[in-house]
Amino acid sequence: PARIPHHHRGILGYCKALGVPLEVQVNENRAALLQASTGPVPQRRVQADLRGLIAELAAKGLERGTLEAPLDEPDLEALRAMLRRFGALGADHRYHGSSRAGWDRPPGAGPEAPRALPPLDARLLLEPTLWAGAAFTEGVDYAATMLQPVGGMDRIAAALATALGEALVPGAEVVSLRRGEAGARVRWRGADGMREETAAQVLITLPAPLLARLDTDLPEARRAGLAALHYSSAAKLAFHCARRFWEEDHAIYGGISWTPGEATQLWYPSHGFHAEGGILTGAYIWDDDLGERFAARGPAGRAAAIAADGEALHPGLGREVSAPVSVAWSRMPRAGGAWAEWTTAQRRDLYPLLRSPEGPYHFAGEYLSWLTGWQEGAVLSAWNALEGMA
Ligand SMILES: Cc1cc2nc3c(=O)[nH]c(=O)nc-3n(C[C@H](O)[C@H](O)[C@H](O)COP(=O)(O)OP(=O)(O)OC[C@H]3O[C@@H](n4cnc5c(N)ncnc54)[C@H](O)[C@@H]3O)c2cc1C
């Protein structure tokens, strides 16, 4: 995980209670790039021109009287005023370009007035990478303010581990679960061999695919349901860069660029601005087909494919990156996939079964929430399960 929306109060509450310092995660950066068929375009230009296009089309619709809503003249005037501001339209209700898109000739101290970039060809704006990238942070879980723990997301786990002390046994692997008269027997493998514990209640937080395969006496219907849940094949790859070329050459400070290639997204670090070097997330893939294609490659093949995608966004990137590290969650033995993706039918038919306790067994995890793929989902699910155990 990389980012925390400001309204994920559960996980942020733990950060506060455990003293995990936070900093801003730059999820949207108008200087970041969207890869069009003609080359990379800064997001600010796509945002401005898309709004200009939509506003102009709407204004033309008003002129032709094609609007079906019953609006009187004061309403229409208010609508036109809104459209002019929304799309940076001229007094003629046409979009002629705007400094929102950036400068063709930037403002300086010379004799010539600055000049805004001309509008992009509207057909270019219809390329999915452009409009999807431009709309990305409209999602409630992606909009500012986004946060990240100083030092990385594992600072939360480390702080929790410190708070739990000896109650936590790192590296312990549960190998089987059985019901007994006094509750449930848990067999687990620790650093010094096999152990067994009996407990009146057990909270099981393994990801669904792993719990489905674990040696348990859970009923067949639950095991089949756990196995039927689809988990995303998301993957990431990061490079070390000796030089922050994105800051030095492009004034990109944090944020995300988009490519229609396998890499999908390229993330710039939100911290350490102007430091000597930095870690560039060269790929964040979540489409299953792309994720599986990426996962099937060896480490060198993954790095080469992602560097090639990055090269299109940042010509010369291949010479700047080194030490690639990648994770394909579908290949992670302790994860079994990235996150659960419920179908509508499964939400209706399976979700009630999987979230309900069963004798001594209680269940929690991101997959048992409506916020799958977010730590907040795991927190809310755990709190929900604990209520049932009280
Ligand atoms: C690529 C990716 C990006 C993400 N980005 C974000 C983000 O930006 N922000 C955000 O909030 N969330 C993000 N998430 C989601 C977040 O990581 C999860 O929602 C969260 O980690 C789920 O917590 P959990 O406790 O349900 O499961 P997990 O974190 O998977 O914990 C399950 C634990 O069970 C352990 N385990 C497995 N088998 C056994 C066994 N047999 N015995 C003992 N232990 C076992 C595993 O080692 C693991 O520690 C992302 C996830 C992925 C994969």
Q: pLDDT value at position 65?
A: 77
CA distance 238 to 282: 5
Whether the bond between 145 and the residue before it is cis, its omega within 30 degrees of 0, is yes
Estimate to the nearest angstrom the gap between the alpha carbon of 364 and the chain centroid: 22
Pick the last residue of a domain from 97, 126, 155.
Answer: 126
* Tokens, residue 292: 């599986």
- Angle at the Cα of 135 (from 347 to 239), degrees rounded to 5? 90
- Is residue 220 in a domain? yes
CA of 335 from ligand 1 middle (Å) equals 7
Ligand 1 atom nearest to CA at 3 = 8
Q: At 64, is the pLDDT very low, low, confident or very high (cuts 50, 70, 90)? A: confident
Ligand 1 pocket, residue 333 CB under 6 Å: no
| 210 CA → ligand 1 middle, Å | 12
Final residue before a domain boundary, out of 65, 93, 126:
126
Chain position carrying tokens 């299109």: 312
Kindly give the number of the ligand 1 atom that is closest to the alpha carbon of 334: 37
Which residue range(s) make up the domain with 211? 169-231+339-389
HSE-CB at 376 with a 13 A cutoff on CA atoms is: 14
Domain assignment present for 159: no
Q: What is the pLDDT of residues 227-240, one digit of tens each?
A: 999 999 999 999 99
**How many whole angstroms from 48 Cα to the centroid of ligand 1?**
38
Mean pLDDT of the chain, nearest integer: 97
Phi, psi values for residue 215, rounded to 5°: -75, 100
What pLDDT does 72 receive? 86
Ligand 1 atom nearest the C-alpha of 8 is 11
Three-point CA angle 229, 235, 237, nearest 5°: 170
Does one domain contain both 84 and 219? no
For residues 240-259, average pLDDT = 98
Query: Which residue among 374, 376, 380, 383 has the greatest number of ligand 1 atoms within 8 angstroms of its CB, and so is best to mutate?
Result: 374
What is the pLDDT averaged over residues 205-215?
A: 98
Q: What would the pLDDT profile of 125-150 be if each residue is shown by its tens digit?
A: 999 999 999 999 999 999 999 999 99
Q: Report the CATH number that the domain containing residue 78 is assigned in CATH.
A: 1.20.1440.240
What does the alpha-carbon distance between residue 171 and residue 321 come to, in Å, rounded to a whole number? 33
**What is the Å distance from ligand 1's center to 157 Cα?**
11
Mark whether 373 and 226 lie in a shared domain. Answer: yes
Ligand 1 centroid to residue 76 C-alpha, Å: 51
Report the number of distinct structural domains present in the chain: 2
Ligand 1 neighbour 29 (Cβ under 6 A):
no
Same domain, 50 and 121: yes
Same domain, 76 and 214: no
What is the three-class DSSP state of 384? helix
pLDDT of 196 higher than 90: yes
In the predicted model, is pLDDT for residue 66 greater than 70? no
Cβ neighbour number for residue 324 with a 10 Å cutoff: 18
In order of 50, 208, 216, 245, 349, the CA distances from 358 in angstroms are: 52, 15, 12, 55, 17
Residue 241 and residue 280 in contact, taking contact as beta carbons nearer than 8 Å: yes
Biggest CA pair distance of the chain: 89
Side-chain-side CA neighbours of residue 237 (13 Å):
29
What's the residue count for the chain? Answer: 390
> Is residue 253 assigned to a domain?
no
Q: Is 173 in the pocket of ligand 1 (CB under 6 A)?
A: yes
Mean pLDDT within 85-89: 98
Q: Are 130 and 46 in contact (CB under 8 A)?
A: yes
224 in any annotated domain = yes
Residue 158 vs residues 10, 22, 155, 163: alpha-carbon distances, Å: 17, 14, 5, 9
In this predicted structure, the answer to whether residue 265 has a pLDDT above a threshold of 80 is yes
Check whether residue 102 and residue 177 sit in a common domain: no
Quote the pLDDT of residue 67: 66
Between the two ends of the chain, the Cα-to-Cα distance in Å is 30
Indicate whether 16 pLDDT > 80: yes
Q: Quick one: 370 and 227 in the same domain?
A: yes
Final residue belonging to a domain, choices 126, 148, 181: 126
Same domain, 63 and 196: no
Instruction: Take residue 145 and report the two structure tokens written for it.
Output: 């303010």
Together in a domain, 217 and 347: yes
| pLDDT tens track for 342-355 | 999 999 999 999 99
209 found inside a domain: yes
Ligand 1 atom with the smallest distance to the CA of 206 is 34
> Could you tell me if 86 and 100 are in contact, meaning their C-beta atoms sit under 8 angstroms apart?
no
Answer yes or no: do 357 and 217 share one domain. yes
Please report whether residue 290 resides in a domain.
no
Residue 341 pLDDT greater than 80, yes or no: yes
CB-ligand 1 contact for 374 (6 Å cutoff): yes
d(CA 186, CA 193): 14
Beta-carbon count within 10 A of 328 CB: 22
Q: What is the CATH number of the domain that holds 369?
A: 3.50.50.60
| Residue 102 within any structural domain of the chain | yes
- Judged against a pLDDT cut of 80, whether residue 70 lies above it is answered with no
Please compute the mean of the pLDDT values over residues 201-210 and round it to a whole number.
98
Q: Which residue has the tokens 């890869």?
A: 35
Based on the fold, state whether residues 58 and 187 are members of the same structural domain: no
Task: Write down the pLDDT at residue 261.
Answer: 97
Same domain, yes or no: 347 and 226: yes
Give residue 280 CA to ligand 1 midpoint distance, Å. Answer: 22
CA–centroid distance, 151 to ligand 1, in Å, is: 18
Measured distance CA(374)–CA(280) in Å, rounded? 22
Comparing CA positions, the residue from 171, 170, 303 lying closest to residue 239 is: 303
CB-ligand 1 contact for 375 (6 Å cutoff): yes
Percent of the chain with pLDDT over 90: 95
Answer whether residue 4 is part of any domain: no
pLDDT at residue 106 is higher than 70: yes
Bridge-partner residues for 95, per DSSP? none
Ligand 1 center to 361 CA (angstroms): 20
Query: 366 CA distance to ligand 1 centroid (A)?
Result: 8
pLDDT score of 305 = 98
Q: Are 225 and 372 found together in one domain? A: yes
What is the number of the ligand 1 atom nearest to the C-alpha of 236?
1
